[in-house]
Structure 1
Amino acid sequence: MARRDSRRLDEDDVRNRPTRYGSRARTKQRPAHSDAETGMVVTVDRGRFTVLLDGPSGSEDTVLLTAMRARELGRTAIVVGDRVGVVGDRTGGPDTLARIVRVEPRETVLRRTADDNDPYERVIVANADQLLIVAALADPPPVYGLIDRCVVAALTAGLEPILLLTKADLASPEDVLAHYGPLDVPAIVTQRGADLAPVRAVLDGHVTVFVGHSGVGKSTLVNALVPGAARSTGAVSGVGKGRHTSTSVFALALPEPAHGWVIDTPGVRSFGLAHVSADDVLWAFPDLEDGAARCPGSCEHLTAEDGCRLDAWVAEGHSTPARLEAFRRLLVSRKDLGGAIALP
């Protein structure tokens, strides 16, 4: 066979080694997605996100669609309450799938850890402004440590904590109200069959996260406030290949004439506060902050015997013994109970 002259080789004689990226030019520029429509994430389930798109200004027309996270977002966390930009098929029709390409800056985040020994923070809700802590006065009785933990989570997240006491027909609310009076936590007392107008008034115009111990009546309350809530959550969580799936957190719009959102947390099984420091809790007590500046750098603010100067600060009249006691109770509560809050 005649030997090929290398000077006569043409393009058919050259072998190109295939590469992972082929011949496509690589670039660090990301698409702007200027045509993305904005919406709110209302459920998250197995990598699929249910998004309620904003309707045209002044219009009540909205579209509920299923979306996936765009590749360029990497592992960016997307949670219920997030405001997101969506592209692709935005009709919301059966078997359609859009893409979330942008997560807007969050105003607030509600975090938790799996337990008090877990340093990994999990954002479970974004952009809420209230935390409604539902507790029964009897059957089951109130567990102050659990309520305290929820108060800590709300205060350190920038949410307004609100205490809702149910089953007032079974027990008096006086002791519980006195217990949380020094914290200035607003409280609503209700019972089975009572008018829910006071609750609706508190929720109107807000995005409110509901949290509560098993058996306190939280699910009953959600269904009363948002008729058809069970049916709605079943519809929006039925993503995937025709299966009915469950979701741990979901958002429901309050019916007209109210304007606001209820975010329920039925699948959250624990509420660790490993990410919360003593200084985080202190931030919610402005009447004690200047006094804490007198304390040693390593002060845990628990007792005067350990060098805490807050007792002297209170004695000077800058705050009250009840406020200091409540502050220290929250510090202790954030480390108690192993981080477990059993929810329905």
Structure 2
Amino acid sequence: MSRRARDYDESDVRIRPNRRGSRPRTKTRPAHADATPGRVVAVDRGRFTLLVQGRTVTAMKARELGRKGVVVGDAVAVVGDVSGGPDALARIVRIEPRRSVLRRTADDVDPVERVIVANADQLAIVTALADPEPRVGMIDRCLVAAYDAGLVPLLVLTKSDLGDPQEFLAAYADLPDIRVVVTGRTDLDDGAGDGSGLHGLSDLEEHLRGLVTVFVGHSGVGKSTLVNALVPGADRATGHVNDVTGRGRHTSTSAIALRLPDDDGWIVDTPGVRSFGLAHVDPGEIITHFADLEPGTRGCPRGCSHDEPECGLDDFVASGGAGPAGAVRLASLRRLLRARAGESRD
């Protein structure tokens, strides 16, 4: 009998195995209760440098984190190889809640927020008194971002050997909670310096002690020079200012967290910026940072921007309600509001 004529049975049937297995799919993700805590100190093209139990560890983001961004300063939980060896690679499986977030946007109409640093305490706004000339608009924008993030602003003026800081500081004397440090070049042989070639560095160190401080500023203002003086061995690249444009060359290409000597705080050096967008900041919140002016808003018309002819703050300040520095304080507030509206030049 031919094969075609006979009846087929089960031995003639070939069943393809189920390649996906028999285990049902689940959305439950592992809790990773035994994950090791770490701190993100650098980010570079999808790879993260962490400090884990005193060791430097390279890690990547686990798939279950999805599109969640990991930034410098984040406290994270990691699994895998945390030995810190040259070929070791761990996985970031969890980002712990952030206590502060410093953000910026590309411009004042860009809806996309960019998180710069997480879990910082203060924002050091570095600007030169000359070469390049200080840009008030940039400083005002950084101040708005600091207040919005709940960070204490620290104004660091460099190159005081090239310009007098007093006139410049008058514009910021009455801003809320702002602290100022002035630094400049000094002769290493005259005994006035501390070996770094800078005066004022010890004052700056006092303001950084025990805190996480983010350094921001235009390229060429001396930010990397300060970082190298504060953290010996940091080797942050330094640049020069273009004689034609008056702008510096970008030398820091990525943010990095550096531990201060004696484990007495951290500084986060960020790339030099040319703009600091504030599209993420609600203009109505800025007045809340001026406790002496806020009572005067009771006399403002509905929807007042606090920077218009009918604003009640003008009469409030004129009557002395904000104290002797009221006019200066009001000018400062309106400068910040205009920065948020994109009317200040950076």
Q: Normalising by the residue count of structure 2, what TM-score does the alignment of the two structures yield?
A: 0.83
Task: Note closer, same or farther for the CA distance 1:300–1:11 as it changes in structure 2 (3 Å cut).
Answer: farther
2:23 counterpart of 1:45: no
Q: Which runs of 5+ in 2 are unaligned?
A: 186-197, 238-251
The one-letter amino acid of 1:259's match is: D
Task: Note closer, same or farther for the CA distance 1:293–1:9 as it changes in structure 2 (3 Å cut).
Answer: farther
From 81, 99, 102, give the equivalent of 1:107. Answer: 99
Q: Percent identity?
A: 58
From 318, 321, 340, give the equivalent of 2:321. Answer: 318
Aligned match of 2:230:
225
Task: Note closer, same or farther for the CA distance 1:332–1:93 as it changes in structure 2 (3 Å cut).
Answer: same
C-alpha distance in 2 between matches for 1:175 and 1:231: 31
Task: Note closer, same or farther for the CA distance 1:44–1:4 as it changes in structure 2 (3 Å cut).
Answer: farther
Equivalent residue of 1:222, what SS?
helix
2:312 counterpart of 1:309: yes
The one-letter amino acid of 2:313's match is: L
The one-letter amino acid of 1:139's match is: D
From 184, 196, 199, give the equivalent of 1:191. Answer: 184
C-alpha distance in 1 between matches for 2:144 and 2:62: 35
Aligned match of 1:59:
none
Deviation at residue 295 of structure 1 after TM alignment: 3.3
Aligned match of 2:142:
150
Task: Note closer, same or farther for the CA distance 1:300–1:27 as it changes in structure 2 (3 Å cut).
Answer: same
Equivalent residue of 1:23, what SS?
coil
Equivalent residues of 2:80, 2:91 under 8 A apart: yes
The one-letter amino acid of 2:46's match is: G
Task: Note closer, same or farther for the CA distance 1:263–1:119 as it changes in structure 2 (3 Å cut).
Answer: same
Deviation at residue 69 of structure 1 after TM alignment: 0.5
Q: Normalising by the residue count of structure 1, what TM-score does the alignment of the two structures yield?
A: 0.84
Deviation at residue 116 of structure 1 after TM alignment: 1.7
Equivalent residues of 2:335, 2:344 under 8 A apart: no
C-alpha distance in 2 between matches for 1:11 and 1:274: 70
Q: Which runs of 5+ in 1 are unaligned?
A: 56-61, 233-245
Equivalent residues of 1:249, 1:268 under 8 A apart: no
C-alpha distance in 2 between matches for 1:326 and 1:134: 19
> RMSD between aligned alpha carbons?
2.4
Aligned match of 2:23:
24
Task: Note closer, same or farther for the CA distance 1:268–1:34 as it changes in structure 2 (3 Å cut).
Answer: farther
Deviation at residue 294 of structure 1 after TM alignment: 4.7
Aligned match of 1:329:
335
Deviation at residue 114 of structure 1 after TM alignment: 1.0
2:123 counterpart of 1:131: yes
Deviation at residue 52 of structure 1 after TM alignment: 0.4
Which deviations, in whole Å up to 9, do the C-alpha atoms of 1:116-158 show, x marking residues without a partner?
Answer: 2211111110000111111111222211111111111111111
Equivalent residue of 2:171, what SS?
helix
Deviation at residue 195 of structure 1 after TM alignment: 4.7
2:194 counterpart of 1:201: no
Equivalent residues of 2:138, 2:276 under 8 A apart: no
C-alpha distance in 2 between matches for 1:4 and 1:270: 81
Deviation at residue 300 of structure 1 after TM alignment: 1.6
Deviation at residue 298 of structure 1 after TM alignment: 2.9
2:67 counterpart of 1:75: yes
Task: Note closer, same or farther for the CA distance 1:269–1:97 as it changes in structure 2 (3 Å cut).
Answer: farther
More helix by share: 1
Deviation at residue 17 of structure 1 after TM alignment: 6.8
Count of residue pairs brought into register by the alignment? 313
Task: Note closer, same or farther for the CA distance 1:2–1:268 as it changes in structure 2 (3 Å cut).
Answer: farther
